[in-house]
Amino acid sequence: MIEYQTDNIFAKILRGEIPCEKVFEDNNSIAFMDIMPQSNGHLLVVPKSPSVGLLDADSTILGNLFTTVQKLARAAKQALDADGVTIMQFNGSAAGQTVFHLHVHIIPRYEGVSLHHHGAAPADPEVIKSNAAKIRAALSSKI
């Protein structure tokens, strides 16, 4: 397994060095919109604790991480009127991982709509911004 590198893009986002369309933050994690979404409303939950992936993560962060994943998945499904939600998480380049800081993908799904390829094309920033606003609004309601 590769060593954790502090210059990965999500570490830079966590340090505020790179902007993101943030929808949630607490002491343990942040969630923001994926800039190359595989479906409308694709977002990422990133724990603040540094690890390359799930396999080297401190297991004590996982309960909190998946509680946040559930909260965000519920909010995204409601906010974007999705029919389902795919949760994905990749470990190692052989598995498709491209950013080497643990993260969980939350991908709203719509009946009959296939996923775009992983990390293939950036979405319209205005659409991302509008989806983020809807998710933030759902989070501040009673989910």
DSSP 81: T
- Residues taking part in catalysis: 103
> Which residues make Cβ contacts (< 8 Å) with residue 83, sequence separation at least 6?
109, 110, 111
| Site track 9-28 with ligand 5GP (rule: CB under 6 A), x = hit | x----------x--------
Is 96 a binding residue for ligand 5GP by CB under 6 A? The answer is yes
Is 36 a binding residue for ligand 5GP by CB under 6 A? The answer is yes
Compute the distance between CA of residue 143 and CA of residue 138 in angstroms, rounded to an integer: 7
Determine which residue in the list 34, 69, 80, 107 makes contact with ligand 5GP, applying CB under 6 A: 34
Q: Which stretch binds ligand 5GP (CB under 6 A): 34-42, 56-64, 65-73, 77-85?
A: 34-42
Compute the distance between CA of residue 108 and CA of residue 73 in angstroms, rounded to an integer: 8
Contact 91, 55 (CB under 8 A): yes
Contact 88, 105 (CB under 8 A): yes
Determine which residue in the list 28, 49, 110, 119 makes contact with ligand 5GP, applying CB under 6 A: 119
Positions touching ligand 5GP (CB under 6 A) are 9, 20, 32-36, 90, 96-99, 118-119
